[in-house]
Structure 1
């Protein structure tokens, strides 16, 4: 197997697995840049995956080929609405952000499993008929060398995720909204004295986080798992959280880290078909993404500085 053939297998697979992580990690960036710790990303992905699959199964005959994309919008809305619970608990009632995030994770898993059994009478949904499948990107696929590696047998969602990451970077660092968002995460009292509504900006940060986390879950369900069960989202939200920290709360850094974790996940699936990994037992390939997540966090979390007011409650008029 030549290097070109290996790259033609590894790169599209990496981008496929990275896409849900990119969306969700970007959501984490918006939340934590506003000063709200959000370890509920796993739960938001669960809600997104559940919503996307149920909508897809229900309306596939109505919307046809457009169903997966519309299902992503539904997942986005569901994630945004569900994240309001975290916002109310951590911002309005000033609950511990970590505890609230854990509650979101537990509630999402329990609620979706209950609804799946209620709707379908079993522990998982049926397989969706219309999901995201491999495509060849017109024109770009004909570019010498690069076209075959990046734009053949690939997925639209991967490129949408990268575009969204670039848009997120522009919003966070190049717009007045982004400046206000970062200011309430760094020094909310100073932002308040300048007329910035701290509570409103933090709510918006968390809701955007929920919307992107919902999309991440929807992308995973419609492009990788093709159904929903208790094991559909199994650690991807925590990987996205790790990617956000690894990327130092920067949208492009989070994207790069998500691609790295996507590579680790893809290797656990396609590793047995690659010559240099064929002799490694499958169990080691399967645990590789989680080991790399731990190593990344232990190796870099000490050097990555979160926004100064991340996780700090703000009470107007207090110091």
Structure 2
């Protein structure tokens, strides 16, 4: 009941803030919220990667690398084939491969999971830096389109129902993952493996198999986050393209208490803060260095995590290798 009360307070504060800003300037508020949603999606998807992995006990700090190499593949395969759908498919395959490699190191080889994730990040950074070529362009990006009727709703229609295809796919994945984790046998097994793998093993759950499946699928979701940046939000690729979003997503996952909807809310908070910071820079509302304004979302994230420190508990078996019969 305590958590429910806090959640209601947060919702009321968010609604009140939105209503206040909308009453002051409806057009700018709508634009900021639409931009904030676009900024939030890759972070939310990356947080889903962490949730899927850690719910089964695998720590994945290789999200950054998975997003980076997937964005690279999405962009350059789209350039080579002149087809962004083929680029997207190639990125998803590479992301799943990165997830499988992480599972191989963490589950079968029982490698330290922090080191395994670091290897993924170094591999992605090295490959993309070596293969990167400047001056390439893709034929198009996933264009925004309007959902009939829903897009005409004041404020909500423009914020939620005028986006590209990858945005709607990403939001659907988040909702499906929430239902899957809390309302399906797969979710029950995943949570059991992340909390008490020996008990799950005794109950007939294949711990290794489930971890392989979850981490591999999570890799594909991370690839979608990277592909979204390259093929819908930005439409290009540069070295250091991800800019720490994978690590930020881990913080949002913790703030969201390993819950897909909680992580989505945290990502929206971060995205809206980033969008408002950008708007402040455009309007020159305050006379402060642009570097401070750009850093504002990260500062607020650190503050929020500091406040919530000690109040969240990760899955009990997180980061612990498991051997059958152990």
TM-score, normalised via structure 1 length: 0.89
Distance change (3 Å), C-alpha of 1:301 and 1:105? farther
| Partner in structure 2 of residue 133 of structure 1 | 143
Q: Distance in 2 between matches of 1:96 and 1:6?
A: 48
CA-atom RMSD in angstroms: 2.0
| Partner in structure 2 of residue 111 of structure 1 | 127
2:275 to 238, 258, 266: 266
| Aligned-partner SS, 1:295 | helix
Q: CA deviation at 1:305?
A: 0.7
| Aligned-partner SS, 1:34 | coil
Q: CA deviation at 1:23?
A: 1.3
**What is the 5 A alignment of 1:187-198?**
187-198=196-207
CA contact (8 A) 1:53 1:71 kept: yes
Q: Distance in 2 between matches of 1:214 and 1:97?
A: 20
Match status 1:289 vs 2:297: yes
CA contact (8 A) 1:244 1:250 kept: yes
Match status 1:232 vs 2:241: yes
Q: Distance in 1 between matches of 2:135 and 2:66?
A: 18
Q: Distance in 2 between matches of 1:189 and 1:79?
A: 29
Unaligned runs of 5+ in 2: 1-21
CA contact (8 A) 1:113 1:229 kept: no
1:147 to 151, 157, 161: 157
Q: CA deviation at 1:188?
A: 0.3
| Aligned-partner SS, 2:236 | coil
Q: CA deviation at 1:278?
A: 4.5
For residues 19-76 of structure 1, give each alpha carbon's deviation from its aligned partner in whole angstroms, at most 9, with x where no partner exists: 111111111110000100011110110111011101211122xx4xxx2x44323212
Q: CA deviation at 1:162?
A: 2.1
**What is the 5 A alignment of 1:186-265?**
186-265=195-274
Q: Distance in 2 between matches of 1:210 and 1:88?
A: 13
| Partner in structure 2 of residue 23 of structure 1 | 45
Q: Distance in 2 between matches of 1:227 and 1:173?
A: 37
CA contact (8 A) 2:181 2:188 kept: yes
Distance change (3 Å), C-alpha of 1:126 and 1:301? farther
Match status 1:298 vs 2:306: yes
* Paired residues, number: 304
Match status 1:99 vs 2:115: yes
For residues 276-309 of structure 1, give each alpha carbon's deviation from its aligned partner in whole angstroms, at most 9, with x where no partner exists: x443431111112322332233332421111110
For residues 161-218 of structure 1, give each alpha carbon's deviation from its aligned partner in whole angstroms, at most 9, with x where no partner exists: 2221110011111111111111110100000001100000111121121111111011
Q: Distance in 1 between matches of 2:281 and 2:237?
A: 26
Q: Distance in 2 between matches of 1:271 and 1:132?
A: 28
Match status 1:48 vs 2:70: yes
| Partner in structure 2 of residue 88 of structure 1 | 104
Q: CA deviation at 1:237?
A: 0.6
Distance change (3 Å), C-alpha of 1:272 and 1:133? farther
CA contact (8 A) 1:16 1:155 kept: no
Distance change (3 Å), C-alpha of 1:127 and 1:278? farther
For residues 218-238 of structure 1, give each alpha carbon's deviation from its aligned partner in whole angstroms, at most 9, with x where no partner exists: 101122332222121111111
| Partner in structure 2 of residue 161 of structure 1 | 170
Q: CA deviation at 1:11?
A: 0.9
Q: Distance in 2 between matches of 1:269 and 1:71?
A: 30
Q: Distance in 2 between matches of 1:203 and 1:149?
A: 37
Match status 1:173 vs 2:189: no
